[in-house]
């Protein structure tokens, strides 16, 4: 089902760029976005009808998330999944064989291609929706096997480890070794649109709303967790530092590793915080459909890539951004922008942040690097494990750590697990 707001796309899209596109940061590699979702109703219906008779394959959850991101314009100007040569080139240098910039290989990996052998056009089916409806139609450019050596190169360059205990590596290696590539025509935003109607937004929609709000300098904040007091204050620090009109809190709505808090709970907690503790017209609560990679530095660059596409001028990259365990150094996700990203590839500016915490000395949240005279005990610091224990026991963390209204939502969730 196409929601009503998408049927008005041609007018809204044209209006956004005609009235203010020139004043907004440009998308990557183009003056306008190139979303792969088929917005034209007649064309959408024709493709959906055609897809019923096409050879089809159920793709991985990671590939489905990538299709949603392509459809939503976040990966603009890419048209579809990469062939093996482009994926290997991106892994080595963050550029495709034609020189275009992209931070991570974008592959559609399958265990078997028997069902689509010899087909020039296929239907990609959604693994995350009951009945596996068609997610997209692909014009097949190539079907290629990925060797062990190539898989190792892709893994090592993107994740900086070959350890299968790394959740991103494990998910990547679980998909299969046959790469099918080609441009796609997206027909659905999977479950994200229906499960998160108030939060899921395309890059096109966010650009339009930024334009409607009259914002010119915009900070983007990435989160896969609920936002505690330190996250809230970090957004405000960044906004003040760059004189921003507002912040786009852009939460991941896709699959996470076991133990992470589900998206609906995060959504409710973040909305409550924004409602009570941010001034009017300074925050947008939005989300995107994508499975977390936990790829640390490379994923931080990908995060910056699609935040530029949604219209942000600045992006917060914090300590151990997009990391997991001890696989990455605390600031690797910041140094990659100066050490490895090709010059001129990104226009968006990085706001490099340190760990933030409440200072007992100063009675406010500060970046720890800005308080060199503080000892560890001068901050209100709680481990994630300790916070989860407290919430599960119905005990709210101290208000210096978490807003009480946010803590209540999280307590209700953790106690529901008992």
Main-chain phi, psi angles of 382, to 5 degrees: -135, 135
Q: What does the alpha-carbon distance between residue 379 and residue 368 come to, in Å, rounded to a whole number?
A: 9
Q: Which two tokens stand for residue 150?
A: 């190539």
Vertex 124 angle, CA 121 and 127, to 5°: 165
The yes-or-no answer on residue 298 being catalytic is no
Selecting among 177, 224, 271, 388, the annotated active-site residue is 224
Q: What does the alpha-carbon distance between residue 306 and residue 201 come to, in Å, rounded to a whole number?
A: 13
> 235 by DSSP, 3-state: which?
helix
Main-chain phi, psi angles of 138, to 5 degrees: -115, 135
Q: What does the alpha-carbon distance between residue 296 and residue 105 come to, in Å, rounded to a whole number?
A: 15
8 A C-beta contact, residue 64 and residue 135: yes
Main-chain phi, psi angles of 320, to 5 degrees: 55, 40
Q: What is the separation, in whole angstroms, between the first and last Cα of the chain?
A: 37
Q: What does the alpha-carbon distance between residue 146 and residue 148 come to, in Å, rounded to a whole number?
A: 7
The yes-or-no answer on residue 418 being catalytic is no
Q: What does the alpha-carbon distance between residue 408 and residue 411 come to, in Å, rounded to a whole number?
A: 5
N residues, the chain: 418
Q: Which two tokens stand for residue 417?
A: 């697990």
Q: What does the alpha-carbon distance between residue 326 and residue 320 come to, in Å, rounded to a whole number?
A: 9
- Count the helices and strands in the chain (H runs, E runs): 15, 15
Query: CB within 8 A of 316, min separation 6: which ones?
Result: 219, 220, 221, 222, 234, 235, 238, 351, 353
Q: At what angle do helices 263-277 and 404-416 cross, to 10 degrees?
A: 160
Main-chain phi, psi angles of 106, to 5 degrees: -115, 90
> 220 by DSSP, 3-state: which?
strand
Residues recognised as catalytic: 224-225
């Amino acid at each position: 089902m196409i929601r009503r707001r998408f049927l008005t796309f041609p007018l809204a899209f044209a209006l956004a760029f005609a009235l203010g596109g020139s004043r907004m940061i440009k998308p990557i590699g183009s003056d306008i976005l190139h979303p792969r979702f088929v917005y034209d109703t007649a064309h959408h219906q024709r493709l959906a009808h055609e897809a019923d008779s096409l050879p089809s394959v159920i793709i991985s959850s990671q590939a489905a998330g990538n299709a949603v991101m392509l459809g939503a314009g976040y990966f603009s100007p890419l048209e579809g999944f990469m062939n093996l040569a482009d994926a290997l080139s991106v892994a080595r240098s963050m550029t495709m064989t034609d020189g275009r910039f992209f931070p991570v290989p974008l592959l559609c990996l399958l265990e078997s291609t028997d069902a689509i052998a010899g087909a020039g056009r296929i239907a990609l089916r959604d693994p995350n929706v009951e009945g596996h409806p068609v997610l997209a139609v692909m014009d097949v450019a190539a079907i290629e096997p990925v060797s062990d050596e190539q898989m190792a190169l892709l893994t090592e360059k993107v994740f900086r480890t070959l350890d299968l205990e790394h959740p991103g590596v494990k998910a990547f290696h679980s998909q299969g070794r046959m790469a099918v590539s080609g441009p796609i025509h997206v027909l659905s935003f999977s479950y994200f649109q229906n499960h998160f109607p108030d939060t899921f937004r395309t890059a096109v929609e966010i650009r339009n709303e930024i334009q409607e709000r009259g914002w010119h300098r915009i900070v983007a904040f990435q989160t896969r967790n609920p936002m505690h007091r330190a996250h809230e204050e970090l957004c405000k620090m960044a906004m003040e530092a760059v004189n921003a009109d507002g912040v786009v809190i852009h939460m991941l709505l896709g699959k996470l590793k076991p133990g992470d808090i589900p998206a609906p709970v995060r959504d409710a907690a973040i909305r409550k915080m924004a409602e009570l503790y941010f001034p009017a017209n300074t925050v947008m609560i939005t989300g995107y459909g994508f499975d977390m990679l936990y790829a640390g530095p490379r994923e931080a660059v990908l995060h910056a890539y699609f935040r530029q596409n949604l219209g942000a001028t600045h992006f917060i990259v914090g300590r151990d951004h997009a990391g997991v365990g001890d696989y990455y150094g605390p600031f690797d996700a910041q140094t990659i922008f100066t050490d490895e990203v090709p010059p001129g590839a990104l226009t968006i500016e990085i706001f490099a942040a340190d760990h933030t915490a409440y200072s007992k000395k100063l009675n406010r949240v500060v970046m720890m690097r800005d308080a060199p005279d503080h000892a560890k005990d001068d901050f209100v610091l709680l481990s994630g494990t300790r916070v989860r224990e407290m919430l599960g026991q119905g005990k709210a963390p101290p208000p210096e750590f978490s807003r009480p209204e946010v803590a209540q939502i999280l307590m209700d969730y953790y106690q529901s697990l008992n």
